[in-house]
Amino acid sequence: MPEIRISPRERLVLNAIIEIYIATGEAVASQAVARFFASREGLSSATLRNVMAQLGDGGFLEQTHSSAGRVPTATAFRFYVEQIMQSARVATGGAGEGLSALGQAPVLSKERRGQIEESFSGVSGPNDYLERTSHVLALLSRGLGVALASSTAEQVLEHIHFSRLATGRVLAVLVTQSGAVQDRILVIDRELSHVELESAARYLNENFRGWPIERIRAEIARRMEAEREAYRQLLASVEELCRKGALADDETTPAIFVDGIANLINSEVDREHLRQMLLALEAKERLIDLLNAYVDGRQQEVRVVVGLDAASPAMQDLVLIGAPAANLGTVAVIAPTRMQYQEMIQSVRFIAGLSQRLLEAGPD
């Protein structure tokens, strides 16, 4: 986000207002802020009212009624999140003591880490991890826990095997380095012998293990042209199997696990807004587009997006906290702006990191 310049005093007061609002869910009056800073000198009620007025003029606070307190805006929450993320970057770089701009260590407590790890005991594979993730994140955030599996185009080949089933039918079993196993029956135009199938599998495994699936198909097409004469018969068999779908993209919607819709029913929104929000979230294709748009697997870091109105006007009061989970996919929380940001950012980061351990352990 563009750098926002406010004075240290304004930042101090704004952070206090946000934390009071997160804790209470009510508009924050100057008296509540004064109690928050009871031990600090130089922050009288008159001073706080002036600072709050300046923050309101700057677009950080809004007043829903003339006699009510102030409520943080999306701009305020974005500024608050940026402080947390900046603190995490400083801590990761080893600077200072790792304390955030809010005076709290941006590290998940040992107790919370233990609770999360215990929640993942017995996980037996990628889909099991993703399903468990959506449930755990929903519990932690009291919002929506979402876990999206990687698409086939992002998968990396570990091993492929072909078996002849019947005339014109071949079983292809594809194992990716994430541990996913995909099998499909190929209907081929010409008969391939057992030897030809073994040779095709050996060629793919020896030449393309560790390659993204999408690149393999392109490279085979290139080699067909460049090496047609030298390897005509072998490449013809490989090309036939690939053309019929051995390395095809999965045409179905990527697996997505969602948990916690009921949590949002208790959020502070009017009935019609809630209905529209739930309709937007229940469209799995929209959730998939949302995660793909905001979370970049190449960045390997947590992304926080305050206000999802670009995806749907009904989602303007929601926040997305997401992170790539190794080669397994994307994990995320979608929840109202009133959440414990530091804990949820670190929880999403920690759970995404657990996927790497799962990969290293390998499938059972």
What's the pLDDT tens digit per position in 140-188? 988 889 998 876 545 778 899 988 888 888 888 888 876 667 788 888 8
Average pLDDT over residues 44-58: 89
Top-confidence residue, 220 or 98: 220
Q: Which two tokens stand for residue 123?
A: 């996980």
CB-based contacts of 338, cutoff 8 Å, min separation 6: 21, 22, 25, 268
Rounded CA gap, 8 and 43, in Å? 13
Highest mean pLDDT of the ranges 12-26, 63-77, 318-332: 12-26
What is residue 190's predicted lDDT score, i.e. its pLDDT? Answer: 77
In angstroms, rounded to a whole number, what is the distance separating the alpha carbons of residues 322 and 329? 11
In this predicted structure, what is the pLDDT of residue 91? 59
Lowest mean pLDDT among 203-217, 260-274, 301-315, 322-336: 260-274
**Integer CA distances (angstroms), 80 to 68, 155, 189, 268, 283, in order:** 22, 36, 61, 21, 30
Fold of 8-82: Arc Repressor Mutant, subunit A (1.10.10)
Residue-wise pLDDT for 302-337, tens only, equals 899 998 877 777 788 889 999 988 767 899 999 888
What's residue 200's pLDDT? 86
Residues 6+ apart with CB under 8 A from 245: 172, 184, 186
Domain 108-150+254-361 adopts which CATH fold?
A: Beta-Lactamase (3.30.450)
Q: What tens digit of pLDDT does each residue of 77-124 get? A: 999 999 888 877 665 554 333 333 354 545 678 888 899 999 988 887
Collapsed DSSP state (helix, strand, coil) of residue 71: strand
Residue by residue, DSSP assigns 91-148 as HHTT-TT---TTSS--S--HHHHHHHHHHTTT--SHHHHHHHHHHHHHHHHTSEEEEE
Same fold? 8-82, 153-243: no
Q: What was the pLDDT predicted at 181? A: 76
pLDDT in the model for residue 95 = 39
**Residue 184 CB neighbour total at 10 angstroms:** 14
Q: What percent of the chain has pLDDT over 70?
A: 74
For the ranges 42-46, 115-119, 241-245, 328-332, the lowest mean pLDDT is seen at 241-245
Measure the N-to-C terminal CA separation of the chain; round to a whole number of Å.
43
Mean pLDDT of 275-301: 74
**pLDDT at position 231 over 60:** no
The full set of domain ranges for the chain reads: 8-82, 108-150+254-361, 153-243
**pLDDT grade, residue 263 (50/70/90)?**
confident
Q: How many CA atoms lie within 13 A of 96 on its CB side?
A: 15
Q: Which CATH class is domain 153-243?
A: alpha beta
Banded model confidence at residue 61, pLDDT cuts 50, 70, 90 = very high
